[in-house]
Amino acid sequence: MNDLRAFSRRGFLGATGAGLAATALPDFAWAQGKDSLVMGWPIDPPTWDPIKRTNPGIQAIYKMVFDQPVTQAPDLKVIPAVVKAWKMSDDGKQVELEFRDDVYWHDGKKLTAEDFRYTYFERKQKGHKSDLASVFRNLTDVKVASETKCTMILSAAMPTVIPWMSFLANFIVPKHHVEAIGEEKFGENPIGSGPYKLVQYERNSRIVLEAFDKYWGPKPSIKKITILIMKDPSARVAAIQSGQADWVPDVPIREAERLGKVAGLKSDILPITRVVLLQIRSDRAFADKNVRLAAHHAIDKEALSRALYGGKAVPLSVVATPGTPGFVDGYKFDYDPKKAQELLAKSGFGPDKPLQIGLATFNGVFPGDYEMARAIAQMWKRVGIEAKIDVIEQPKYFELNRGNQLPETTLYSWDNATGDPEMFSGYLLNPSLPFSAWKDPAVGDQIKKLFLVVNYEARIKGYREIAVHATSEGAAMPLLQSVTTWVYKSGLKVQPYLNGWALPQTWSWS
Amino acid sequence: MNGGLLGVALRRVAIAIPLIFLVAVLVFVVLRLIPSDPIAMSVPPNATRDEIEALRREMGLHLPILDQFAIWFGKAIVGDFGRSIAFTQPVLRLIGQSLPATIELVVLAAIFATILGLSGGLAMYQMRGRAGETATDLVSTLVMSIPEFLWAIFFILLFGVALNVLPFTGRLDSGMTVGRHTGFLLIDCLIEGRFAALGSALLHMLLPALALALGTAPLLMRVLRSSLLEVTNEDYMVMARLRGFPERQILLRHAFKNAFLPTLNLMGVQFSFLFGGTLLVEVIYSYPGIGNLMVEAVRNTDLPIIQGVALVYAVAVLAINLAVDLLALFLNPKLRVAK
């Protein structure tokens, strides 16, 4: 017995010694050198076929490997990329494109207008299912004139065709490679023409990229990128704090503020082109305009911003973010609980006889979503609206919206990297699109007309009017311009974009 | 003896087949009953009703549930689990890419749990009646009452952030790459002779495996301690003491051998649970196994993956239990007679 006890003690001491030895190991070289970068990313690309999905969270990853026909500057202005010039016909049904002649795929072959035709038109003809095909369902042909010139032929005017080509799922893929290995394998072994080549990919774990030396644009200063897929925000916080990552996004606001004060780290809280809004049904309890406006007047957006976003999220009165063409400077929808009560009283409701409505929300899809829904329900309760909160998942949201089965109101977050008002008010208030809970045909008719207006100034003017009309009629309740958070090592020079893109090809180490 | 073991193995496999079928039916039906449309995430948000209906038909979702099941199961038994809705890849390929990582993790967790559980049980027995036993008992209760995912987060904060001595994301250091030969990273490192990568892979597995093991080790510890206490006054123990054998020899050669069998049975059950524990632990550690894949599939209502992974879990549980039963039979001839 004593022997065993002695043995156990020895074992324990040995284990303790091993533990201490482990803690005394030299500090692991988590930090990368000056030409490499480790990023913690919250979303894994479901596929490496970039035209398949319109997923905002992975657009920046795709932009590292693939090229879009055109791209955007940090201030959202559309600028040339692979397509160096474009011209739209007066009727908006034909778009001439001119390509650069110095763009190469990662296997060394040249990118031509044929690749563009294949991506946008032929793949659809071959039955390749993709979100891109759905976006360009009116594209009837792409006529290739030469290696660097082609014309898109549309069955209906598409004034936003150029902004769209810098948006989701709009990436050019190599015809020769997809045809050689097949659509399915391309989703695992992609070749792009972007600033980085995919070197290694392990699903749900990491992506390794290396700079492409024949890239047509500015050569990336950071030569090697490792993207660690970290879905859990606390893991991202731990990774940046421990030095296992050089940059992480989407950490909670308070953590971002705290980490920004840690020596060797910086944090940014960046307003982006994401609108947090309440989607409104045009029927049921919200068929009454007084009720809709009362619900809107009862919401203290400043308080929501302070409580959930450290005051960094900008309160909105129209469905557009500051700095985008559809934003209406000077228009403000007031927080006025007294007016809310008066409006409700006109319709026969009040704190003693509350109006009962449903409020759908996500929990964890965008920062503070569920907490915001609860806060709004509390604000409404004070004026005489009782909201039953129903937490739904994203797939359920799409299903309910398609079936016109959402409750009176839904807390929603809407990303629009282009900043174009068509993708704000145009999509959110067009009853014929499944993004819209508002089914009033009057607003819908105006928007459908704007969908065909080719003149830029007239189109933007129209959308601004609709945005103000929608708010003043209670068709939409824009709440806040959402923010994203970045935490990174202080030696890293980052380039924020108004749409939240994190593009390490534009970054460098100081 | 071998014939007996083989017979038992064959009988257990024969029983496992209808069990797997029942699991498949259950998973399939339950997934069809949840109020969520599986194609909601697979069509673009601006899809027309016609496009949605066409996709629904293409995926066979317009058919009665029994017909859907018959089609799915008919394909599944020949290895075709369908295509993932979100990843647009064959489910079998996705599982094949993820399963080795989980197996490696679970095996290491099982090794940790066994070492901690058995050594702890022996230590508790040795300290019986003293303050050390009470203290160990309290610690084991505390360890047991904290779920794996909290241990996972605690270890990240302690070893990853505060002490900064262990990695906690993925399977390898960011500067390393190892070719995929078998999918089992440890084996692939050995195949390529990459010993630095092997060390890195083991370090990356340490924290998730330990977090998983802590859910199992205290139970093993307690059952072994109880079993040892039960046999401590058996005649053969008394005889051994009378014959003057050292206590350590009596414990390890006589008591442990007999007390181990109940612990072994528990190990079978507990090691099955290790697979379930990987769901959250893999997500927290960005570990690319089937637990992570399953969580992603649930998030996307990706029914083909959920069905496929559920079947893998069922097969894993049955296989572990079969292995443990066979080991018990091998160690205890009396059970073979009983069978």
CB contact under 8 A, A231 and B89: no
pLDDT tens profile A223-261: 999 999 998 888 899 999 999 999 999 998 889 999 999
Task: Confirm or reject contact between A243 and chain B (CB < 8 A).
Answer: yes
pLDDT tens profile A384-436: 999 999 998 877 787 788 778 899 999 999 999 999 999 999 989 888 877 78
Q: Which of A204, A265, A365 to mutate to test the interface with B (most CBs of B within 10 A)?
A: A204
Q: Count CB atoms within 10 A of the CB of residue B92.
A: 16
Q: What is the pLDDT of residue B73?
A: 86
Q: Which of residues 190-209 of A touch B (CB under 8 A)?
A: 199-200, 202-206, 208
Q: What is the pLDDT of residue B41?
A: 63
The DSSP-derived string for B157-185 is IIIIIIS--S--SSSS-TT-----SSS-H
Q: Which of A136, A244, A422 to mutate to test the interface with B (most CBs of B within 10 A)?
A: A244
Instruction: Name which residue leads in pLDDT, B98 or B249.
Output: B98
Task: Confirm or reject contact between B327 and chain A (CB < 8 A).
Answer: no
pLDDT tens profile A280-291: 998 999 999 999
Q: Is the dihedral of CA B238, B244, B247, B248 positive or negative?
A: negative
Confidence of residue B248 (pLDDT cuts 50, 70, 90): confident
Q: What is the mean pLDDT of residues B119-132?
A: 88
Chain B contacts of A37, Cβ < 8 Å? none
Q: Has residue A22 got a pLDDT over 50?
A: no
Q: Which of residues 440-499 of A touch B (CB under 8 A)?
A: none
Query: Model's pTM, two decimal places?
Result: 0.85
Contact criterion met (CB below 8 Å) for B172 and B201 = yes
Q: Which two tokens stand for residue A210?
A: 């290396």
The C-alpha atoms of residue B219 and residue A310 are separated, in whole angstroms, by 45
Instruction: Find the DSSP H helices in A136-272.
Output: 161-164, 175-181, 183-186, 233-242, 253-260
Q: Which two tokens stand for residue B293?
A: 């894949």
CB contact under 8 A, A204 and B156: no
pLDDT tens profile B31-66: 887 766 777 666 666 667 777 777 778 778 888 888
Q: What is the pLDDT of residue A241?
A: 94
CB contact under 8 A, B286 and A135: no
Q: Count CB atoms within 10 A of the CB of residue B171.
A: 26
Q: What is the mean pLDDT of residues B117-121?
A: 92
CA distance to partner chain A, nearest, from residue B141 (Å)? 20
End-to-end Cα distance, chain A:
64
Contact criterion met (CB below 8 Å) for A96 and A154 = no
> Chain B residue closest to A43 (CA)?
B296
Q: What is the pLDDT of residue B9?
A: 78
CB contact under 8 A, A244 and B160: yes
CB contact under 8 A, B41 and A38: no
The DSSP-derived string for B196-264 is HHHHHHHHHHHHHHHHHHTTTHHHHHHHHHHHHHHHTTSHHHHHHHHTT--HHHIIIIIIHHHHHHHHH
Instruction: Find the DSSP H helices in chain B.
Output: 2-33, 49-58, 65-76, 91-126, 131-145, 148-155, 185-191, 195-213, 217-231, 235-242, 247-249, 256-284, 290-299, 303-331, 333-338
Q: Round the CA-based radius of gyration of chain A to a whole number and report it.
A: 26
- Whose tokens are 């996500």? That residue is A362
CB contact under 8 A, B119 and A11: yes
Q: What is the pLDDT of residue B79?
A: 84
Confidence of residue A4 (pLDDT cuts 50, 70, 90): very low
Q: What is the pLDDT of residue A341?
A: 96
Q: What is the pLDDT of residue B245?
A: 85
pLDDT tens profile A117-132: 999 999 999 999 899 9
- Sort strands A83-88 and A94-99 into parallel, antiparallel or unpaired: antiparallel
Mean pLDDT is lowest, of A95-109, A137-151, B135-149, for B135-149
Q: What is the pLDDT of residue A2?
A: 38
Q: Has residue A26 got a pLDDT over 50?
A: no
Look up residue B40 and give its DSSP letter: T
Task: Confirm or reject contact between B129 and chain A (CB < 8 A).
Answer: no
Q: What is the pLDDT of residue B2?
A: 53
The C-alpha atoms of residue A204 and residue A230 are separated, in whole angstroms, by 8
Instruction: Name which residue leads in pLDDT, B30 or A303.
Output: A303
Task: Confirm or reject contact between B269 and chain A (CB < 8 A).
Answer: no
pLDDT tens profile A57-112: 899 999 999 999 999 999 999 999 999 999 999 999 999 999 999 999 999 999 99
CB contact under 8 A, A230 and B169: yes
Q: What percent of chain A has pLDDT over 90?
A: 77
Q: What is the mean pLDDT of residues B307-331?
A: 86
Q: Which two tokens stand for residue A336?
A: 């006025």
Q: What are A509's strand-pairing partners?
A: A492
Closest CB to B248: pick one of A1, A27, A36.
A1
Q: Has residue A10 got a pLDDT over 70?
A: no
> Chain B residue closest to A403 (CA)?
B49
Full 3-state SS string of A186-208: HCCCCCCCCCEEEEEEECCCEEE
Mean pLDDT is lowest, of A300-314, B38-52, B57-71, B258-272, for B38-52
Q: Round the CA-based radius of gyration of chain B to a whole number and report it.
A: 24
Closest CB to A206: pick one of B165, B170, B282.
B170
Q: Minimal CA–CA distance to A120: which of A97, A101, A86, A100?
A: A97
CA distance to partner chain A, nearest, from residue B196 (Å)? 13
Mean pLDDT of chain B: 86
Is this prediction's ipTM beyond 0.90? no
* Residue at B322: amino acid letter: L
* Residue at B28: amino acid letter: F
* Residue at A59: amino acid letter: Q
Q: What is the pLDDT of residue B46?
A: 65
Q: What is the pLDDT of residue A28?
A: 44
Q: What is the pLDDT of residue A216?
A: 97
Q: Which of residues 355-414 of A touch B (CB under 8 A)?
A: 393-396, 398-399, 402
pLDDT tens profile A450-476: 999 999 999 999 999 999 999 999 999
CA distance to partner chain B, nearest, from residue A187 (Å)? 8
Q: What is the mean pLDDT of residues B151-157?
A: 93
CB contact under 8 A, A202 and B47: no
Confidence of residue B271 (pLDDT cuts 50, 70, 90): confident
Q: Which two tokens stand for residue A483?
A: 């923010």
Task: Confirm or reject contact between A131 and chain B (CB < 8 A).
Answer: yes
Q: Which two tokens stand for residue A348?
A: 């026969």
